[in-house]
Amino acid sequence: MTTDCVFCKIAKGELKADLVYEDSQVVAFRDLNPQAPVHILIIPRKHIQSLDALWDQDANIVGRIATVARDIARKLGISEDGYRLVNNCGEQAGQTVLHLHFHLLGGRNLGWPPG
Ligand code: 5GP
Ligand code: ZN
């Protein structure tokens, strides 16, 4: 836990968020500034700064995030049409919150390549 990290605060329930899923390892909530009809952020409860800062022994958390994303996509009705699970790592990728998170986006046609 990093005291000034907004996503740690959301994971601890200290900052309000529209939660769609939580368990002992992972929390998922709606993005404050959605870029698609469905835009969910999925984070580990553990403070990990970015994908680049992920230790090998914590790699299972990324697998867990993927299965949680799959289940949320089904629950929110975007799995048939398709969706995107994306991580921005570092400055040039546009990472603004320094707590590992994956964006689950769906509900519209998503362009490629991004940005
Ligand atoms: P990044 O650019 O780091 O990949 O994504 C950070 C995302 O977090 C952005 O899409 C932004 O809208 C979202 N965000 C930032 N602060 C908050 C917050 O306090 N609550 C929620 N729900 N989303 C946030
Ligand atoms: Zn954090």
Q: Is residue 55 part of a domain?
A: yes
Instruction: Note whether residue 38 is domain-resident.
Output: yes
Give 58 Cα–ligand 1 centroid separation in angstroms.
23
* pLDDT 10s digits, 2-44: 789 999 999 999 999 999 999 999 999 999 999 999 999 999 9
Dump pLDDT digits (tens) for 90-102. 999 999 999 999 9
- In this structure, which ligand is nearest to the CA of 48? 2
Kindly state whether residue 43 falls inside one of the protein's structural domains: yes
Query: Which residue shows structure tokens 């509900």?
Result: 107
pLDDT score recorded for residue 1: 59
| HSE value, Cβ hemisphere, 13 Å, CA-based, for 52 | 7
The environment of the single-atom ion ligand 2, i.e. residues with CB closer than 5 A, is: 2, 5, 7-8, 47, 99
Structural domain of 34 = 6-106
Residue minimizing CA distance to atom 20 of ligand 1: 32
Residue 1 lies in a domain: no
Total domains present in the chain? 1
Do 36 and 96 meet the contact criterion of CB atoms below 8 Å apart?
Answer: no
Does position 115 have pLDDT exceeding 90, yes or no? Answer: no
What's the CATH code of the domain at 87?
3.30.428.10
Q: Which atom of ligand 1 is nearest to the CA of 15?
A: 19
CA 6 remoteness from chain centre: 13
